[in-house]
């Protein structure tokens, strides 16, 4: 068999049989090193989620919240067809945004990784991509409003060119503007991981593909895309979780005319309906985890990192 399989048992036994005492202290050091992170995650991630879980079973009256264990919140949630419409809307935003960010992100990353030859230019162009992040999400989002509005730049330009006669009503405060803002805000989260995996592709693989007679598209589909999968998956997880958890973009860009799950939760919180908000949050969390679970079925990210 291979030399590797021959070598591995020896190394394995060599590693697993240090003197017992040294092994114990190494064990202890390991735990100590992991402790700070465990404590931080426990206090700021696990505990709040548990709290949300607990509160989601509490009861409410018109003017108070009382600790209890009842399924009223969930029963109401699943009994209302608003829930289904809002969840459908959320998933719709996530899927459409994912498709566009993937296409744009992959193209940008491909251009940066394979067409820009000098490293200095790569770094410069990459930094250029991050410049919008020097301002806040909200400002970047709101800057679309004067552009897309009824008398905004887009409409007046199109009208002056004679492409349209009357202003387009669907440019702003519509699903179009919501998705446009999402794509604008989150494409970089797709570019970065895809660019990273692309940079690790050995350039001689592309030459080997050309040598074997592959056309440019065949090389892209049979070599680059499969090798970029981990980056695509990481970017997809970023984009999907960000879009599914968002509420402010949908509120601003739809002019409060569309809803997603985030807005449902934020409305409940505004009305101090914490148990109901928690129940919705729990269902959203489970939905997002299921989506990530499905994505992870396609690529073993741990193996690729």
List of residues contacting other proteins (CB under 8 A): 2-4, 202, 204-205, 207-215, 218, 222-223, 226-227
Smallest separation (angstroms) from other proteins to the CB of 204: 4
With a CB cutoff of 8 Å and minimum separation 6, the contacts of 69 are 57
**Is residue 244 exposed (0-12), middle (13-18) or buried (19+ Cβ within 10 Å)?**
buried
CA-derived radius of gyration, the chain = 25
**Is residue 155 exposed (0-12), middle (13-18) or buried (19+ Cβ within 10 Å)?**
buried
Which residue's CB is nearer to other proteins, number 50 or number 205?
Answer: 205
Which residue's CB is nearer to other proteins, number 2 or number 120?
Answer: 2
Smallest separation (angstroms) from other proteins to the CB of 51: 43
Which residue's CB is nearer to other proteins, number 151 or number 204?
Answer: 204
Smallest separation (angstroms) from other proteins to the CB of 300: 12
Locus of tokens 């404590």: 39
Which residue's CB is nearer to other proteins, number 285 or number 295?
Answer: 295
Which residue's CB is nearer to other proteins, number 79 or number 213?
Answer: 213
φ, ψ for residue 65, nearest 5 deg: -120, 135
Smallest separation (angstroms) from other proteins to the CB of 298: 13
Give the integer Cα–Cα distance in Å for 305 and 295: 16
Smallest separation (angstroms) from other proteins to the CB of 295: 18
Give the integer Cα–Cα distance in Å for 240 and 98: 7
């Amino acid at each position: 068999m291979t030399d590797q399989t021959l070598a591995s048992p020896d190394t394995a036994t060599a590693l697993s049989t240090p003197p017992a005492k040294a092994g114990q202290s190494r064990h202890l050091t390991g735990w100590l090193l992991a402790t700070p992170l465990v404590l931080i995650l426990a206090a700021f991630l696990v505990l709040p989620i548990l709290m949300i879980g607990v509160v989601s079973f509490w009861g409410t009256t018109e003017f108070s919240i009382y600790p209890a264990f009842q399924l009223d919140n969930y029963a109401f949630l699943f009994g209302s067809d608003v829930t289904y419409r809002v969840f459908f809307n959320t998933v719709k935003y996530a899927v459409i945004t994912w498709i566009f960010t993937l296409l744009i992100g992959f193209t940008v990353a491909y251009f940066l990784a394979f067409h820009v030859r000098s490293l200095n230019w790569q770094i410069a162009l990459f930094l250029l991509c991050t410049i919008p992040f020097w301002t806040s999400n909200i400002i970047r989002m709101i800057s679309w409003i004067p552009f897309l509005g009824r008398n905004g730049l887009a409409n007046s330009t199109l009208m002056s060119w004679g492409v349209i006669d009357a202003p387009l009503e669907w440019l702003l405060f519509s699903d179009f503007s919501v998705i446009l803002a999402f794509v604008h805000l989150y494409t970089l989260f797709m570019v970065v991981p895809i660019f990273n995996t692309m940079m690790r592709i050995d350039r001689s693989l592309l030459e080997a593909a050309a040598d074997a007679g592959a056309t440019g598209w065949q090389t892209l589909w049979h070599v680059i895309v499969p090798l970029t999968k981990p980056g695509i998956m990481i970017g997809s997880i970023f984009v999907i979780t960000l879009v599914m958890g968002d509420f402010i973009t949908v509120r601003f860009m739809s002019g409060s005319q569309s809803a997603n799950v985030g807005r449902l939760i934020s409305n409940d919180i505004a009305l101090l309906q914490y148990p109901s908000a928690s129940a919705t949050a729990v269902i959203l969390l489970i939905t997002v985890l299921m989506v990530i679970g499905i994505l992870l079925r396609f690529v073993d990210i741990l193996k690729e990192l």
